Amino acid sequence: MRIGELAARAGVSTRQVRFYEAKGLITSTRLRNNYRDYDGTALGRVQQIRELLDAGLSTQVIRAVLPCLESPRDPIVFEGVTTETVTALECERDRLTGRIGILTRNRDAVAGYLTELQQRANGPATNRGADRRSP
Amino acid sequence: MRIGELAARAGVSTRQVRFYEAKGLITSTRLRNNYRDYDGTALGRVQQIRELLDAGLSTQVIRAVLPCLESPRDPIVFEGVTTETVTALECERDRLTGRIGILTRNRDAVAGYLTELQQRANGPATNRGADRRSP
DNA sequence: TCGAACCTTGACACAGGTGTCAAGGTCAAG
DNA sequence: CTTGACCTTGACACCTGTGTCAAGGTTCGA
């Protein structure tokens, strides 16, 4: 698959695809043209990269965690794993957990605010005094 | 509280504090000096801003959700809320939920990979097939 | 009074992710 | 062969959140 098709299918610009490749997030072979050639796994990769970038991760972090994200885990990704890699991944896992906690707390706060707002709007609007707004 | 003290307590640079203020995330009054003066709530605000920035949110988003995050919700934040604001907040809430989902999925994938790695290391390493580390 | 420590604004620089444009190579269709 | 669609690399520019430095005002202690 050439870069244009890949980009179109993933809904990104070719600029982005080249950038991800330059950052080592995806790979390509070259045709005799010198044109980039992407295999079938590239589309999924790019979509995953987009997701993670949108979620606020940097390409560095994404490069670290991408190998863990293969659906059917290639036995290859278990070869030659250094303790440094493991440590880095554990660190990333924990950072992700922290992020999830923060986002969850804040999402809940926003949701709570909205709920409260809605109650205040609903309650006094209809003159049904469900939760005694005015005694 | 002056800017230096605030920054020091929050563990950020005064540059950052001024930036957050310029973006409307915190406010200050001015002394006759023209020095900034922050009230007691500023420290918590800055810490919350840091958390959210670290979690990958932009100052724009943070400005939108910060008002919902007051611990004892000031009745003031329920006054004059436009439907636009509500819509924006609902949107942010949903975006946060999406982000949380993505991060959770990927965190779990990383954790699963690490677990699998550990099993492969523990299992064949000791010549006992059990999952006991060393008897 | 002088210097140190703090504050002010303003500017330039950087990294990351992206847009966009230029100058040129490749290839298929007319 | 020419045209147009696609590819290549390279460069410049933008936005964000920071760092850093400059030039100057304020305050306080020696």
pLDDT, one tens digit per residue, over A84-120 is 889 999 999 999 999 999 999 999 999 999 998 888 8
| Range 16-45, chain A: CB under 7 Å to any strand C atom | 16, 19-20, 23, 32-34
Whether CB of A59 is under 7 Å from strand D: the answer is no
Query: Which positions of chain D lie under 7 Å from any protein Cβ?
Result: 6-9, 11, 16-21, 26-27
Report pLDDT for B124: 59
A125/A83: higher pLDDT: A83
pTM of the model: 0.85
Reported as a pLDDT band with limits 50, 70 and 90, residue B132 is very low
Whether CB of A4 is under 7 Å from strand D: the answer is yes
DSSP state of A11: T
CA atoms within 13 A on the CB side of A66: 25
Whether CB of A50 is under 7 Å from strand D: the answer is no
Residues of chain B with C-beta less than 8 angstroms from the C-beta of A102: 51-52, 54-55
pLDDT tens-digit series, residues B21-31: 999 999 999 99
Report pLDDT for A123: 65
What is the pLDDT averaged over residues B59-79? 82
Centroid of chain to Cα A83 = 25
Residues of chain B with C-beta less than 8 angstroms from the C-beta of A122: none
| Alpha carbon distance B42, B20 (integer Å) | 11
Of A22-36, A56-70, B70-84, the one with minimum mean pLDDT is B70-84
Report pLDDT for B121: 76
Reported as a pLDDT band with limits 50, 70 and 90, residue B126 is very low
Q: How far apart are the first and last CA of chain B?
A: 60
CATH 3.40.50.1860 assigned to B1-79: no
| Alpha carbon distance A60, B33 (integer Å) | 45
A14/B85: higher pLDDT: A14
| Alpha carbon distance A97, B103 (integer Å) | 8
Report pLDDT for B123: 66
Check pLDDT > 70 for residue A134.
no
Q: Where are the domains of chain A?
A: 1-79, 82-124
Neighbouring C-beta atoms of residue B82, cutoff 10 Å:
8
Q: Please state, rounded to an integer, the average pLDDT across all residues of chain B.
A: 87
- Interface list for A 12-71 with B (CB within 8 A): 51-52, 54-57, 65, 67-69
Query: Which positions of chain C lie under 7 Å from any protein Cβ?
Result: 6-9, 11, 16-21, 26-27
Whole-number Å distance, CA A67 to C1' D8?
29
B127/B101: higher pLDDT: B101
